[in-house]
Structure 1
């Protein structure tokens, strides 16, 4: 993509999503993720009335006088966006491709985070993590993320959510808010998700195109699997085939919902023929 065209697209997305994050989601984002816990700050001499449970016994033994640990509320949060850039995300039958909606959702979340003085990091993945951008603050950092979202071309085929979560678990040790934005057309990520959800606040954002849920009855069509590249003819006039396909998709949706909820993670389903603003608005309100 030409640089001038890329900058125009970045600017267009910035204007739309920054306005949403400032006017619609700023307060809701803070309310949804305000429970940040307490972090260690310093050690000082024990004073009358201090909680004895906070005594630092190592420092006390070393100095010979009682010392206590002081904790403070965590003010800064790290938001991680794990973004599915596999070929299946470059699909759409309504107004936008799935990856275009993913770009806008990520931009809204990122601007909401920096408005709250939080850091934002990103991992782009297909069958493996292809690009990692460490967490930082600031508008220029967010604009870089948007540029990558618009211009990124995955090298790999397929979708490996489990491997991506393992990468995330090994790399990010400090508790964070982790959004996984994908169409979740793969399975077998339960174990890695369970590990991630124990340490982090994990939210799965499932992007669904209505044509993926049900095949139209339009006779014989030539279809290509976006991730494997396999091409085959499908007789959509067969009711049995349409029913099998609908069950296949429903099984993936059920696996996504049940696996996330069983692990203690949250889920958001966003359909491309509906407003992602309404879906995020409802999610933030439920979390508040």
Structure 2
């Protein structure tokens, strides 16, 4: 077996009740959830019994999904399965910071709570939405987006690019895509993320990291691939701060990230957190990759049975 990478899901994967059985059965998950609940009271109620609408609100989604993502990593590590590299999709990158040792878990949770609030504020300044566009030529889509005034932002995998922008302009884009018989899917997110509309959130994050006095950024102990560059983070603190904060207004180079991980020897990808979106992206990007998910006890047991003997 080659190298193992943990991948952490982003917004849109959340659902009420996610990871409840991991919380109930894995002491390390239970204990850290308790730490997080003390930092942000009400988080566990939102996760386990909140409505879909409540969870869709960015300032709620991000801390809840952070916990759901890191639960998978904690459960795997407890059972002897450790990552050789990590990457997270959008907010999942904050989880990856914790999983790589670049930030302590509780610091990363505090940061994601702030990140959610900053992005919620920026989202409130423009009525935005996001759609995933399927099987359209990349250059043609870029040209169309420029004509309409929206942004291609997440390069998920071959044949899938997410577009983000103001609601009215996005409606125009949808009409143009429909005319061209191009398939698209609306995403369950609450704003025009990874666009210049998030500049305010990016500036607030940068200030928080520089002046918050609770974040101790360290060089990652294993390769931590950045959405913004698709390459591992450097160990330079100033550069790390810029990478983390600029990410909210920059494109997510996910396809390139997966390709680079495979280039660097990763052949086994474990998606930690709810949903299977990232697993689908791996399947369509890295030929022959071994792909697993951990989001409950049953899925955890499957990974332990198949990989535990090689750990």
Which protein has the larger Cα radius of gyration, Structure 1 or Structure 2? 1
* Structure number with higher strand proportion: 1
Q: How does the TM-score come out when normalised to structure 2? A: 0.30
Higher RCO (C-alpha under 8 Å, 6+ residues apart): 2
